[in-house]
A and B are shown apart, each in its own frame.
Chain A
Amino acid sequence: DAGVTQSPTHLIKTRGQQVTLRCSPKSGHDTVSWYQQALGQGPQFIFQYYEEEERQRGNFPDRFSGHQYPNYSSELNVNALLLGDSALYLCASSLKGFWGQGNEQFFGPGTRLTVL
């Protein structure tokens, strides 16, 4: 049973460029959340996708956008990159409506984005 996978592992971009990060959720999961984790900080919620729609959004500008496909995989797009966008981007999957163990989220290994 594959866990959450993300690609690419590492990425280097320059200011002003655009980037697309990809995520495949854990088998059986239908909800994907994206987080940004700066060095030495906790993950910060960007947005969540369910049924191919953005359901909830954190305090991030609209330069950050996403998409979810019918197979539940998801993309995170960031436009007009800034130096401050350098971070680890984590994808987490869960099963909507599962009230069990606090709706545990399963995280992928992340994509390390460096903006020069």
Chain B
Amino acid sequence: GQSLEQPSEVTAVEGAIVQINCTYQTSGFYGLSWYQQHDGGAPTFLSYNGLDGLEETGRFSSFLSRSDSYGYLLLQELQMKDSASYFCAVRGADSGNTPLVFGKGTRLSVIA
């Protein structure tokens, strides 16, 4: 089976940088994804790492180390609208069409 661990809550100040870590255990691995979900909303895709290293998309970056079974999401220049839950998710098998397994989510609160 697969399991993911991420902090349950993080609080950060507007304009600052925050890092949300994710460690995973899977029988196979086909990439780590990150999703954002605002209260009452649908999860929306943020980023994907299939290989080791850093992927940057605007203010958001995501990192993966397959040897450490570890990744993180980095949010820069935090804005109030970034307050949301952030989920890491993996595909545990060797196919891009296998279902996503989600972590329990990290609730980010951005304060003034």
Contact = CB atoms under 8 A, between A and B. Distances in A.
Interface of A: 4, 31, 33, 35, 40-45, 48, 56, 58, 90, 94, 96-99, 101-110
A108 B44 CA distance: 9
Contacts of B100: 33, 43, 45, 105
Main secondary structure of the interface of A (DSSP, over half): loop
Contacts of B43: 43, 90, 107
Interface string B94-106: 0011111111110
A42 B97 contact: no
B112 interface: no
B83 interface: no
A45 B31 contact: no
Contacts of B99: 33, 45, 48, 56, 58
Interface of B: 30-31, 33, 35, 41-45, 48, 50, 87, 89, 91, 96-105
Nearest to B98: A56
Contacts of A43: 43, 87, 100, 102
Given A99-B96, A109-B41, 8 more contacts: A40-B105, A43-B87, A43-B100, A48-B99, A56-B98, A104-B45, A104-B48, A107-B44
A90 B89 CA distance: 15
A106 B41 CA distance: 12
Given A48-B99, A103-B97, A42 B42 contact: no
A102 B97 contact: no
